[in-house]
Structure 1
């Protein structure tokens, strides 16, 4: 933790009320629903809320140092200090950067992409943890935005050897802001697709947004990218000749290559050729070509640190065999005689197409339950039509859709506007011993259907 003067320096703050009582703090918070004892409270000012309206409550909850960006009536308590900044969110991000830079010996890694970033970051974190037990700080949950990245950083204990942080965006400029916080030594771009395209002009704009993760890297940084974008990334980073670009994929041109794979129930067998030319025969509990490519991306990054960290890539084989993905991603649950395959956390055209490809490769029948893919802007209907056509072409599978967009393209089949309606129908009509496959954006709440069967 920082003392009062260091914190002022970190966030470029102006002292309104000096700390008269103590110089160190236990946490940094912005939520008055929490216990704020010993916390530095940041009063965020958003579109739908203003933390400055809750300063008295923050003090009541235990905070003794308030970070504000507005002229506020000074609190009467002598024990409360206050620092004013131009923008509390920017100050929060400055705090994250300052704390990371104090950990000079630790390596900082970052992951972004239109799809696959959370799974990839989870894989990378677990591989790093096997090298540095209990000395890796990684993103928790869905905390990858302009608030969440620092929210993870303030959890550091000072003993970390590595940071593995997920960077997300849904508006232009956000990746750049987050990349400046992290200033990564190594970063992975998992994919570029139509995720949140409703907030961007086109996929080219999304590409430019994503590669900001590399533009603000540490000197001599490592950029790991899909092979199909390798040359494009190098061209875009022409002013960063110090950055080393490593590619992954199935193509012969890839530096780290997925040579072949076999998908089985509960596991995958696959072969990876490393940049060195060494081939690894691997097994993992994850399934789907996209997940195997995510593992390849992590191996592409870690291969370059073998000598520095005195480990061998082969040491990671047992960890790869049993990986864990967070949230509602590719989870298989059994309820009575029904099997539920749940991927309800997020969806875009790219990730949904990959999900359907995986289902087709591994299963011969079942019920597809597809929910709307959100934030696709003017192209939403064409994207939903393409996914609908892909699903309809899967012989042996029934199809049910949820959401307004799918209801417009699914005029011939089972289409429901919300998950409650779909759940009632399925509970009354689904046949015995059925396998149901769920994929949708988080806002559709497809998991409600699963809960109807479980309750």
Structure 2
């Protein structure tokens, strides 16, 4: 069964099809177009997707969505961005599956992937999720448009850095279950304080369908604010966390050789399972995942098995063995993004690693607002608690932290990822456990690639 027919695309977008065709996928990046796809020629500030239509056809696209007629199968619309929105809305309207919305200041992509793994384990081939971090005003409708018509579960990540953005996205997604992983200082430059961030995250509940469920982190200081945001829209509110007063909570968590063994109390049952990824924050993530699976009517036993098999994603916890003369080193790749909360969580995880030396390669945290210097300097404490022996700091914003660490541990402070790559290759040694984390704009993925290829 095709994902879309040209007639369905034309009906959804109020467009005109040049000829009958079927598509098996949807893409707006011409580099990602594969055989049978629909290429959506979006017009951006700096480029026009219409220029890449020949390339899309060369890569065997089945058809294109365009605002100007072209040679080849196409659907002609007035505005391709609006048409992509309309296609996503049409996909949501036709699905009979359960739809999950995920947001949060930390962990939303990892939790989205864990939810997909849980649903897919219980109903193989019947789960869908947004790929990569397609969580904005273009990525969300694209992810919806890609959802197979027969999907039983769809998991969609939604992000924001300004008030009002989540409200718009969630009304497109219309989730049956909406999860906030946590609220912390992220994009603080655009908000007055963390309470304002909590209000913006709470917008996700505005799109809940009648009878929907809000899933909220109990241990977060903004819990009550999130509950207040959910109450007008949610038929059910479920909390999760380490505190035993949460609806879904951990009764016990014991580290082991293959992960953390957890005994959890859910609303309808108790479940014993193993969390594969290391770190206390993953116990909380797992509780949120199980709360969602339970609310959506998924298979909890299968979800527990999926959590045991979870592996870190590139840039978000992937563990890489570095082969060096004289022995191996462990690289923990957290290079995709960073804020104060995620820095503390991953430094805590580093502190649990058995290693000859613990190394933290940390890049600047961006968009923190007027207290940026203080937030960087305050990382000195979790670095000390993690027993870090060497800190390689990257970016000008890291100077307050460099000043706070001066004389306390081995320290190198460099301007950018290029210099960090050179220093990292010089400094790492067999037996090291190395954490690499920073805001994506710093480009520490370059350091990861260099070390992984060493």
Using the size of structure 2 for normalisation, the TM-score is 0.86
Q: Aligned ranges for residues 267-416 of structure 1 at < 5 Å?
A: 267-276=259-268, 278-306=269-297, 311=299, 313-335=300-322, 336=324, 337=327, 338-363=329-354, 365-392=357-384, 394-395=386-387, 397-411=389-403, 412=406, 413-416=411-414
Q: Tell me the equivalent position of 2:431.
A: 433
The 3-state SS of whatever aligns with 2:434 is strand
Greater Cα offset, 338-347 or 290-299: 338-347
User: How many residue pairs are counted as aligned between the two chains?
Assistant: 438
Query: Are 1:344 and 1:442, in contact at CA under 8 Å, matched by a contact in 2?
Result: yes
Q: 1:183 aligns with which of 169, 174, 194?
A: 174
State how far apart, in whole Å, the 1-side matches of 2:339 and 2:192 are.
16
Cα distance, 1:37 vs. partner? 6.8
Q: Tell me the equivalent position of 1:231.
A: 224
Query: Are 2:378 and 2:401, in contact at CA under 8 Å, matched by a contact in 1?
Result: no
Structure 1 residues 245 and 167, CA gap change in structure 2 (3 angstroms): same
Structure 1 residues 391 and 94, CA gap change in structure 2 (3 angstroms): same
Q: Tell me the equivalent position of 1:7.
A: 9
The 3-state SS of whatever aligns with 1:422 is helix
Cα distance, 1:137 vs. partner? 0.8
Q: Aligned ranges for residues 106-185 of structure 1 at < 5 Å?
A: 106-185=97-176
Structure 1 residues 90 and 212, CA gap change in structure 2 (3 angstroms): farther
Structure 1 residues 89 and 171, CA gap change in structure 2 (3 angstroms): farther
Cα distance, 1:243 vs. partner? 2.4
- Please give the per-residue CA displacement for 1:270-314, whole angstroms capped at 9, x wherever unaligned: 2212224x44333222111111111101111222355xx6x5x34
Structure 1 residues 84 and 245, CA gap change in structure 2 (3 angstroms): same
State how far apart, in whole Å, the 2-side matches of 1:214 and 1:26 are.
31
Using the size of structure 1 for normalisation, the TM-score is 0.86
Please, which runs of 5 or more residues in structure 2 have no aligned partner? none
Q: Give the alignment's Cα RMSD to 1 decimal.
A: 2.8
State how far apart, in whole Å, the 1-side matches of 2:204 and 2:103 are.
8
- Please give the per-residue CA displacement for 1:12-51, whole angstroms capped at 9, x wherever unaligned: x3x5xx4353254444333344557765443322222223
